[in-house]
Amino acid sequence: MTRTHKISTLTALLVATAALSACYMPTLDMKKQTLTRLAVPAGMMERQIPAKPYLITAFERVSRKGDVATVYIEGGQLVWDDFIKEREAATPLNPMALHMSTRDLSSNVVWLARPCQYTTKLDGSPCTREEFTSGRFSLNNLRAMNLALDNVQRKYALKGFHLVGVGDGGGVAVHLAAARKDVLSLRTVAGVVDTDVFAQVYMPEEHEVFVDKTSNNPAIHAAHLASMPQHHFLGEWDDMVGPEMAQNFRHAAGNSHCVRVSEVKSVTNDKGWVNRWPDLLKSPVDCKAGLPATE
């Protein structure tokens, strides 16, 4: 079975499941409760960050002001349907990036939701579907995430960021790394780092739904980021995000020793990552990829 066929089958199954159990879908309030249940035991406190025109939900644990922080950027739902309300569709069922951040024992850990996730806009109005689907990498969305990082930096006088992006949050992390001068490293997990490849290979029939002309392909920054330490993790059993995107991104970076791509065994798109994350955090993120080991 080809990946294209698998993704089409998966999409059909998800939509069919939603149709049969729409009334049992978690509500937005239930999803917010999940955030609190995961974050608070890890010492992470909630904060709402104004990032016009959006309001960005954050959970933070910063014990060393003036140092660096690891920032986790949440993914969105790559498949959605008409049975889910607009704002609830923007908000992931499984906030994997947050869950992973709770396993990070660094002194400074910050998790950022994306525009339209968990909240309305800053003025209280709801997001349009385009803002969190086809416009997920629009300049408006990316500007808001950049403002959120600015806010975190100012509040804690941070010297820099290590970015971790999950799913299409990986694409956001790429854009932010390219736009800022204070990003020290980049990691993606099942990251959508090349939207052209993703849409053409995995969602050919929904190409214009996944990305439109307002969205920018993260892969355009590959060459610019060639000297930034980065590690892109892929799941062995992931039928949603295959190796093509990360491989294409690494190829576009040219002859770089800073770009690593690793396949993680026995992991799907959204299962297995959390328990493996403490060990994966120890994986190299440097500019020694492909170089001979030194004594």
CA distance 57 to 177: 20
Predicted local confidence at residue 158, as pLDDT = 99
Q: What is the pLDDT of residue 201?
A: 79
Q: What is the pTM of this model?
A: 0.89
Q: 291 and 260 in contact (C-beta within 8 Å)?
A: no
The whole-number pLDDT of residue 181 equals 98
Closest CA to 57 of 68, 73, 41: 73
Write down all domains in the chain, each with its CATH number in brackets: 3-280 (3.40.50.1820)
Amino acid at 234: L
Digit-by-digit pLDDT tens for the chain (295 residues) are 555 454 454 444 444 444 444 445 788 899 999 999 999 999 999 999 999 999 999 999 999 999 999 999 999 876 545 444 555 567 888 999 999 999 999 999 999 999 999 999 999 999 988 888 888 889 999 999 999 999 999 999 999 999 999 999 999 999 999 999 999 999 999 999 998 888 887 766 655 555 666 678 999 999 999 999 999 999 999 988 989 999 999 999 999 999 999 999 999 999 999 999 999 999 999 999 987 655 4
Give Cα 193 to chain centroid, integer Å: 10
Contact 216, 137 (CB under 8 A): yes
Query: Cα(284)–Cα(295) distance, rounded to whole angstroms?
Result: 17
Q: Which pLDDT score, from 0 to 100, does residue 268 have?
A: 94
Say what the pLDDT of residue 168 is.
Answer: 93
**pLDDT at residue 295, as a whole number:** 42
Residue 21: per-residue pLDDT: 41
**Rounded to whole angstroms, how far apart are CA atoms 284 and 269?**
22
CA angle (107 as vertex; 99, 146 as ends), nearest 5: 70
Residue type, 239: D
Q: What is the pLDDT of residue 202?
A: 72
